[in-house]
Chain A
Amino acid sequence: MAPELISSYTPPSLSRRRLLQLLGGAAAAGTLAACGGDGGSSSAGDTLKVIGVGDQEAGLRKALDDYKSAHSDFDFNLSFAPADQVQTALRTQLAGGNAPDLHVVYPGNGSAMSMAQLAKANLLADLSDQSWTQKIPAGFAGAFKNDGKTYIFSPGSSMLGAIYNKKAFASAGVEPPATWSELLSVCDKLKKKGIVPIALGAQTPWVTQLIDYALVPGTVYAKTPDFDDKMIAGSATFADSGWADAMDKYLELQKKGFFNDNPNGTTYEQATSMVGTGKAAMAVQVSAVLPAFREASSSPDDLGMFPFPATDVAADNWIPGGVVVGIAVSAKGKKTEQAKKFIEYCGQPETVNAWAEAVACVPLYSEGDPKVDPVLQPFLPYLKDNKAVPFMDQRWPNAEVQPTHFAVVQELLGGKTTVQDALKKMDEAYRKTA
């Protein structure tokens, strides 16, 4: 049957020349259509292209809107992506020479999208001649500068501590603790009341690091303030430091049942919702995510923050306070000068204050009394007493230590490794070249 069908089939008459004509026509039509698309969006050529990360949206959008209303010739095209996608999409654009004029950059070093890594690749414009850069506090210089030049604007510093549900605390009759023993006692009372003491969404990789970050200022930096310098010099290791104490305490909280069940299977969003609704009493988090927690709660006033105590000696309980994610000007962008002018505007005290307020952080600097979110008040004395330590990764030498930290914490919570092996893996990652 089949051969008969084939032999009786006569293809329609279509000469090779006609076929090529058709193909050529289709190609021309495609080209014309593409030209039409470009022509229709001519205004895009005058627009500043900006890519930010979700955490900074409230502040960055407000700054851009305010700048636009003051400058009639200014327009912007703003898009946001979650942190993980920023790593992929933006790095691909940077590699392809197709960078946006302004884009998100993480302060210091330690991640593939950090200021130091991108500055080393000559991808960021130097901002050192702008007046606001003179007001960067000396302790934050490493977050803003590489080889003495400033490459990033950030509105200030975020505090890391426990975001807690006041109603949950009140129902168990407890107050924010000031020492490690008090914390354990508070957690115990909350647990007996049927409330999850600490919500932990460790399936979201970046959340895994936060409890360690909250504890090591007390277990490491209060005793060895120059720990980072010693690590760089090779005279200290994670495994032989207070990091081991911090990780032991992290696991102690798990062993005592103070986390929600299955933290490795719980996401950041689920943990946020648990605290917002009062199912859990607290979560160790950065103040920059307070807006998300407030959105999850019935009233923003239900939530407060306190420094997460690491030791039983109140004087040793330092806090982590890191410069929040910022923006930088692409050195390869088409509107570098225009983008720099916007950054200069961001550096003015009013804009710094407004942006900082929008993302619940302490302003980079202020003229007069800074406007600080009231829930951050418990942290201010630590800043005043120089008991704040930048987020640990901001001085790590390469982008491999931080994801290794995420992975080993998940392994610890899953019972697949020991504290010593986990810290050895972090030491190995630290010693790899940048």
Chain B
Amino acid sequence: MTAVTAPPAAPVAPPGKPGRRRKGSGGITPPWLFAAPALLVYALVMLYPSIAGAGSAFTDWSGVGEQRSFTGLANFRELVHDDQALGALRNTLLLTLAIVVVQNGIGLLLALGVHTTIKSRMILRVIFFAPVVVSPVMVSFLWKYVYNPAPDAGLNAALNAIGLGALRQDWLGNPSLAIWSVAFTVIWQCAGYSMVIFLAGLEGVPAELHESAMVDGAGTIARFRHITWPLLAPAVTINVMLSTVGGLTLFTQIIAMTNGGPGYATDTLSTVLYKQAFVYGKFGYSTAVALVLALFVAAVSFIQIGYLRSRETTA
């Protein structure tokens, strides 16, 4: 009989001088002096303006001049009854939902596709990731050209050329369609970003698990469901978080492609707060919208991360 090998000794304490950088067993004391310059810059360009700006939400400041008076919660009361803001909230949630589901779905499929042994996988990775590095404004103008409503231009011309002329649309001018046209552009640009994160997750899935499962007779779908998907949980968390925050704060593509129109059909909370500040001259009210948006994004992110982290632990 073969003697059972003794288990390895318990790991030794991690290297490093205990005491100086550790506070009991509670964690590492941050190197404050080292972080000070960065913290100072962060405080000056982020924290101070944010806190100072938040005060405007309780005033009727127009954005220029020194005339302003304290209005308490009046801006927040107006927000609750503002049809434009409520419509924008609806649009924001629809866009976010579409972006989170479709972008991550496509990102995952792309990652699975290029995480194979095919020869062109590196080139494909570069191609799929390429739109991510282009400025969102440039991408928006490019797609505005693609969405040209003329029957002989852009996407409509392409549809006509392949015999699908009946599907030609006024992609950005139809109030019912415009929001989905914008969502498609965002997904086209950002799916490569999701792909890269999923790809990093896939690289971390041990090949041995797949080999064992194959020996046990598991098929491709069963292996994805029981091995790949659970082990991708951290990548899913990151992707869902990033795309949710990106969707809730979407601004550039909308301003560049539709300016919130036709009518209010593609207005989001971000474009509404911009218009209130710079077009309507209601900086105080705009700040109130911004404050609500920030709290809303924080709350959604907090709930999401709580759920997704617990899913990671279970997995």
What chain B residues lie within 8 Å of A407 (beta carbons)?
A: 260-261, 263-264
Inter-subunit contact A264/B170 (CB<8 Å): yes
Inter-subunit contact B263/A411 (CB<8 Å): yes
Q: Which residue on chain A has the smallest CB distance to residue B11?
A: A3
Q: Known contacts A3-B11, A112-B278, A416-B175; is A408 also within 8 Å of B263 by CB?
A: yes
Inter-subunit contact B65/A121 (CB<8 Å): yes
**B175 → chain A, closest Cβ, in Å?**
4
**A114 → chain B, closest Cβ, in Å?**
9
How many angstroms between the C-alpha atoms of A261 and B259 in the bound complex? 20
Inter-subunit contact B262/A264 (CB<8 Å): yes
Inter-subunit contact A263/B64 (CB<8 Å): no
Q: Mark A259-296, 1 if CB is under 8 A from B, else 0.
A: 00111111000100000000000000000000000000
Inter-subunit contact A414/B262 (CB<8 Å): yes
**A76 → chain B, closest Cβ, in Å?**
23
A23 touches which one: B37, B63, B173 (CB < 8 A)? B37
How many angstroms between the C-alpha atoms of A369 and B152 in the bound complex? 49
State how many residues of chain B have any CB contact under 8 Å with chain A.
39
A356 at the interface (CB under 8 A from B): no
Q: Known contacts A121-B67, A265-B170; is A19 also within 8 Å of B34 by CB?
A: yes
Interface residues of A (CB under 8 A from B): 3, 6-7, 16, 19-20, 23, 27, 84, 87-88, 91-92, 94-95, 112, 117-118, 120-123, 202-203, 205, 261-266, 270, 398-400, 403, 406-408, 410-411, 413-417
What chain B residues lie within 8 Å of A84 (beta carbons)?
A: 259
Inter-subunit contact A94/B151 (CB<8 Å): no
B263 touches which one: A91, A266, A398, A414 (CB < 8 A)? A414
**B309 → chain A, closest Cβ, in Å?**
23
B172 at the interface (CB under 8 A from A): yes
How many angstroms between the C-alpha atoms of A88 and B278 in the bound complex? 6
Inter-subunit contact A261/B151 (CB<8 Å): yes
Inter-subunit contact A264/B15 (CB<8 Å): no
A6 touches which one: B15, B33, B263 (CB < 8 A)? B15
B33 touches which one: A16, A88, A91, A205 (CB < 8 A)? A16
- 23 example contacts (A-B, Cβ-Cβ < 8 A) are as follows A3-B14, A20-B33, A95-B64, A112-B62, A112-B279, A117-B281, A120-B65, A120-B67, A121-B62, A203-B172, A205-B259, A205-B261, A262-B173, A265-B170, A398-B280, A399-B281, A403-B275, A406-B261, A410-B175, A411-B175, A411-B262, A414-B173, A417-B263
How many angstroms between the C-alpha atoms of A411 and B83 in the bound complex? 15
Inter-subunit contact B37/A112 (CB<8 Å): no
A118 touches which one: B11, B64, B260, B278 (CB < 8 A)? B64
What chain B residues lie within 8 Å of A411 (beta carbons)?
A: 175, 262-264
Q: Which residue on chain B has the smallest CB distance to residue A413?
A: B262
**A239 → chain B, closest Cβ, in Å?**
17
How many angstroms between the C-alpha atoms of A412 and B259 in the bound complex? 17
